[in-house]
Structure formats: structure tokens, C-alpha cells
Structure 1
Amino acid sequence: MDHLTFRQEYMQLPLVTRAYTTACVITTILVQLDIVSPFQLYFNPILIFRHYQLWRLLTTFLFFGPIGFTFLFNMIFTYRYCRMLEEGSFRGRTADFVLMMMFGGTCMLICAMFCSLLFLGQAFTIMLVYVWARRNPFVRMNFFGLLNFQAPYLPWVLLGFSVLLGNSILVDLVGIAVGHVYYFLEDVFPARSGGIRILKTPQFLVQLFEPRNEDPAYNPRPEERPGGFLWGEAAQRRPEQQQEEEGQQQ
């Protein structure tokens, strides 16, 4: 029964979130079992363009380090904010979501060539967090029960936490910068006078990820749901819940 329940929950995950997080977990397990070496995965322009090891363009986003606290921390944030974006502002627009990931990944690879970055999974996660945070500016967050702040500050809080763990600040800064570029091109510039939408989803992506017809009466979960973790969760309850609790107490 537990196996069936896990399988059902797994298959209910949005397509892109399920594919990306599964690839990350499988890659980490293969490295942990010494089936694959991290030296076969990291971003290396010379090996890519001279020796045609093209898989490195993808695997640099899939490896977050050996299984441990840092890996689990990054995977939780990757899963949560990738899913909240796909089920929230990108709901019914899977092709647009894939375009965002392709655009962000391409920008990060360009940055990696000049900044000598080897693995970009953490930067990719920060980009997802940044886009979600900018699209949910009024959500109150709570980080480990210590800090209360609004969602747009979450990427910077994660950057500070990453520094405390001894990680490179450059990786997080690249993720924040790429996330901001995407947010500006997609949400800010088109809304300005004379602005246009520059990032147009190619038709082949639309045909490939065409969403199935859905029940119009279906009420999707709000994008800013906290998810039940102590870090990065919403700190305020909904007003209806507060009124209901006050009525029960009276």
C-alpha cells in the first residue's frame, strides 16, 4: 500500500518537476555508487567543444554534491519552487516553463565560461526561487523559525545561508542575476509603454508539451502555499482561517 501511495504521489507531480528532480536524484545515486564520477559531469568547455562531450551541458545542472545536508537542502528547495512555479504561474503553460529553464540554463552556461564554474545546479535552484519570489512579493516567509521577511528577500537569505555553509557566493549570484534577467524580460519590460515580449516560446515546444484538457471547475492550489517546511515557509495564516479559529474560541 505504501509503495502504491508513493507511486501515485510521484506520478501526480508536474511533468517538468518530476523529470528534473528525478534526474538529479539518479545522478547523485550513480555518483554515490561510484558508477559515475563527478569528473565526467562537470562543465568543461574544452571537453565539450573539442571532444564533443555534449552531455556535460546537462549534467552540470544535475549534480549537487554527495548525499548529505547540502544535497538535501538544495533538493528540497529545487522540488518545492520548481513545483510551485509549474503549478502556479506556469500552470497550463508547460512549454513556457521549459523555455524559462532553457533560457536560464543557457545564460548560466555562458556565465560559467567566464567565471570558471563547474556545477550549476545550485545556481539553477536560486533562479527558480528568485522568479517565484518576485511573482509572489507579498507572501511572508519564515526561515528556520529565526527570520521573518517577505518573499523577494528569500534568494538573498539563501545566499547568506550558503556563505555560512562555506559555499561560493558566485554560484548564487549567477542564479540571482539570471533569474532577474528572465523576470525583467518576461514580467517587467512587456508591461512598459512600448515594451514587447521578447521571449516567445517556439512552436515545437508548444506542440511537444501541449497540456491536456482540464476540468474548468478545477480549483488549483495557490502558488504561494508554504509546503510544511520550517525554512522558507509562509509566516502568516489566511484571514479566513484566523476568523474561523476566533469563532470557535468564542
Structure 2
Amino acid sequence: MSSDLPLQIGETLQSLSINRNPSTTHDINPSTAASEKVPVTVEETTLDAESYSSSLAGSDIDDEEEYSYNIIRPTRRRQSLPPLPDLRFEQSYLASIADAETYQMVAYITIRDQVILPLLQGTMWTLALQGWRHWNRGTKLSGKNAGARIRRWWWRVNNWPLDQSASSIIRSASKDKKFAFKTKEVPSKLTTMSAVDMFFAAPPVTRTLTALTFFISVAHYAGLVPGIFNWIYFHHSHIFKFPPQLWRFATCFMLTGERFSILMDPYYMYIYGKKCETGSSKFTKPGDFFFYLVFVCLALLGVNYALFGSAYILTSALFTAFAYTATQDEGGQTRIFILDVPTRALPLALCFMTFVSAGSMHPALVQATGILVAHLYDFLTRLYPTFGGGVNILTTPTFVRRWFEPKTISVSHKAHGTSFQPAAPRAAASGSTAPGGVLPESWKSRGSGHRLGGD
């Protein structure tokens, strides 16, 4: 019995230290030494000097004992800085999964916060850096931006010749004893295009539309911008109010479907939009594709309101219209995953894939309105004026052409041939004669013409 006495004493002490009713908020996150500290509170006294001295005289305080002034009137704590946030991983993770009710929600929150969001942040930061490097490389001496002007000013200060190219200037400067660096020329055949270079080499309208669609879709489905859907869908009630939310005319075409459509919808939009903008014979002049895009978007809104009474998101209908316009002049077969379909039937195949993936006919019918609108544009601009003797009422306005006119001579190789675009003509100064000779304007126009020796 005496040998069991120490063991019983230890069990008794251990059982006394067990917390029978633990707290979920305190025991999971035990308090530290910092949380035990309580700020000093000072009670303001309203006694005057005579009352205060009389109160001290009636107390039992020894006159010979010394007391610190801080005990009588403690120093106030400064409240200028807010409390330090709890940045420990365990506490932030427990706070993020506090509302999760199932294991699936815990797994979803963990993957979203620890895998997807850091990946997206790193991707956006890398794209921003690459974009800045691309812009920095593009600032040459012949440019019109601030960097090129500063370089030209620096070249003039040092009396360096400006009639040479930047590479020849740097190469000649490197031979000078003032410079310690040497340039190394890389053959043009060995240079490779980065992802940012390929992006900026793509057509301007298509690349801008595709990039906005991808980033808005990722921000919505990843939860990066809560409530973004309420700011992008289209409804007429948001237009006919003050102030009108006119951006909804464009943003309703910039949200993809769920899951795999986040990648495939921007892919189809880029492929067929690029084919229309650069490889189609229907858009040969500057600004034609942009005007086609504006017409298709407005017509899609009208057609969907007329047929279905609503037009919230119409991204699938837009890239289907691109596919119809890009493939109607082509023949042969096109492979979609493992199926070979006729190229002209590609828009119908896209609608069928939407029906299979969504399991409903309504999304496929909304997407099929893109075929209807694209055919309407083709009818009004090509079929009716050519075969019906009508007039093309959808010509690109002059001010839109000026937005896309090249400032320098450009040569582009398209599917139907090589396109040479001269520089935009400069407006003649007032009082100066237009180029074309000294003949009057009436002589420059063609007459009816007469054959020599005839009547």
C-alpha cells in the first residue's frame, strides 16, 4: 500500500489539472503573456487641494514612508498605434475555415487560399514585370514617348549622331575609351519571342478582348473580387437610370462559363477573332473588324431580348459569331478534340458541345444567336449589295478608321494575300496646293471618252 502512495498522489494532481469544460474559442487559441496585460485606467478626481490634503491627513499613511508618484497618478498608455494583427498561419487558417460545414468545403477553401490564389498572384506579378520589360525595350530613339524624348535629349547633349540607329550608336560608343562595356550582336534568326511579345504581336482588338475576358472570369470564379457579377451582367434597368451604367454593354461579353470553359472560351475567342481580324477578306480596311464587333454586340443584345426576354451574359454567342464569320469562306475539315467536322459546320458543333456540357437547350440556343447575327452582318454587307442590288448600310465610319490607321507603312501577310497599308496622309496646310500637279480640279476627273476617228 505504501508503494502505491506516490502513484496515487500523481494521479490526483493530474486529475485536478484536467479542464472538464473546455472553451472552443479560448482553449484552441490559448492566451499568451501579451493577452494577459490590461491597460491601466486612471480615475479622474474632482477634489480640490484642501479636500485632498484633509483626506491624506485622516489616512493611516506613515509620513516617513516614501511613495512613487507613478503609483498616485500612473502614466497613460498611448493609443496612437492599432494593435498588432495575429499573422500566425494556424490562426488565419482556422479563421478561414470557421464557416465550413463539410469536408468538401474545407478542401475547397484550403486549395483556393493555399494553391490557386498564390499562383494567380505570382502570374499577375510576372505578367506585369514582363509587360514593363517589353515596353522598356520598345522605347527607341525614333519613338514619341517620354523615354525616347529623354534619350534623344541625352544624345544631343553628348553630340552623338542621331541619324544612325540605336544599335549602331551603342556599338560605336562602345569602341570609345569612355565606355567599359561591349555589345554583342545576336542574329535575328536566333531571337525568340516571349509570351508577352506574342501577346503584343496579336491583333489589338482580339488580344484586348481575350485578355479582359480571361481575367474577369478568373476574378469571378476564384472569388478574388466578391460581387463582380453584379457589375458586369446586362439588364435594361441599369441603363435607364441615372447615372447610366453604360459599361454593361461591353462587360456582358467578358464572362465565360464555369470549369473548363474558363480556358476554352477565351481560346475560341482568340483563335477565331484573330482569323477574322487579320485573315478574312471581309475586313480589309482599318477599323472594319472593330465596327463589326460593335454591330454584333448590339445585335446580340437586341435579338436575345426579342427571343428570350433577357441577355445577361452573351460571351458564347460572341465567339460563335466570330467562328461563323471566319469559317464561311473556307472548306475542308476541322478537328474538335477527336471529331472531324466540316469547317462551315463548326459554329453548329460549338453549340452542340454547349448543349452536351450544360445538359440544357437554353444555353445552346443563346449561343446559336451568334450564328444568326453573324449571318445578318454578312447579308447586309455582302449578299444583299452584291446579289440584290442594294446598298451597304454598314460601312465603317471615318472617325473609326482614323483610330486604326497606321502611322507608318506596314506590310502584313494574310491568308488571301499580302496587304500593303500606306501611312495615313497628313492634312494639307491652309493656303498650300495639294499634291497632284498644276492642272485644275476639273481636268482631273474622267469624261465620257471618245474614240479617235469616231463621230
Give the structure 1 partner of residue 394 of structure 2.
199
- Aligned with 1:176 (options 359, 371, 375): 371
Residues in 2 aligned to 1:125 and 1:23: alpha-carbon distance in whole angstroms: 14
Does 2:235 align with 1:41?
no
What SS does structure 1 have at the residue aligned with 2:245? coil
What SS does structure 1 have at the residue aligned with 2:341? strand
- Aligned with 1:111 (options 303, 307, 317): 303
| Offset of residue 188 of structure 1 | 1.4
| TM-score, structure 2 as length reference | 0.45
Residues in 2 aligned to 1:214 and 1:139: alpha-carbon distance in whole angstroms: 31
Structure 2 gaps of 5+ residues are 1-126, 135-193, 418-455
| Offset of residue 193 of structure 1 | 4.7
Q: What does the per-residue CA deviation read over 1:55-82, in whole Å, with 9 as the maximum and x for residues that have no partner? A: 111110111145x301211111101000
- Bigger Cα Rg: 2
- Aligned with 1:73 (options 264, 284, 296): 264
**Greater RCO, 1 or 2 (C-alpha within 8 Å, sep 6+):** 1
Give the structure 2 partner of residue 232 of structure 1.
none
Does 2:281 align with 1:86?
no
| Offset of residue 170 of structure 1 | 2.1
* Number of residue pairs matched by the alignment: 217
- Aligned with 2:210 (options 13, 16, 21): 21
- Percent of aligned pairs with the same amino acid: 26
Structure 1 gaps of 5+ residues are 224-250
What amino acid is the match of 2:205?
A: V
Instruction: Name the structure with the higher helix share.
Output: 1
Give the structure 2 partner of residue 145 of structure 1.
338
Contact 2:348–2:368 under 8 Å retained in 1: no
Q: What does the per-residue CA deviation read over 1:173-231, in whole Å, with 9 as the maximum and x for residues that have no partner? A: 2111101101111221222152322211100001111134213xx533569xxxxxxxx
Distance 1:143 1:194, change over 3 A: same
Distance 1:220 1:169, change over 3 A: closer
| Offset of residue 53 of structure 1 | 1.5
Contact 1:112–1:118 under 8 Å retained in 2: no
Contact 1:62–1:121 under 8 Å retained in 2: yes
Does 2:316 align with 1:127?
no
Does 2:287 align with 1:98?
no
RMSD, aligned CA? 2.2
Deviates more, 1:38-47 or 1:184-193: 184-193
Contact 1:60–1:119 under 8 Å retained in 2: yes
Distance 1:191 1:112, change over 3 A: same
What SS does structure 1 have at the residue aligned with 2:381? helix
Distance 1:55 1:171, change over 3 A: same
| TM-score, structure 1 as length reference | 0.79
Does 2:410 align with 1:214?
yes
| Offset of residue 150 of structure 1 | 2.1
Give the structure 2 partner of residue 157 of structure 1.
349
Distance 1:41 1:200, change over 3 A: same
Q: What does the per-residue CA deviation read over 1:122-141, in whole Å, with 9 as the maximum and x for residues that have no partner? A: 110110001111122x1321
Residues in 2 aligned to 1:135 and 1:161: alpha-carbon distance in whole angstroms: 23
Residues in 2 aligned to 1:175 and 1:23: alpha-carbon distance in whole angstroms: 20
What amino acid is the match of 1:144?
A: F
What amino acid is the match of 2:364?
A: I
What SS does structure 2 have at the residue aligned with 1:63? coil
Give the structure 1 partner of residue 7 of structure 2.
none
Residues in 2 aligned to 1:70 and 1:29: alpha-carbon distance in whole angstroms: 11
Contact 2:314–2:367 under 8 Å retained in 1: no
Give the structure 1 partner of residue 201 of structure 2.
12
Residues in 2 aligned to 1:190 and 1:172: alpha-carbon distance in whole angstroms: 28
| Offset of residue 91 of structure 1 | 6.1
What amino acid is the match of 1:213?
A: I
Contact 2:214–2:262 under 8 Å retained in 1: no
What SS does structure 2 have at the residue aligned with 1:219? strand
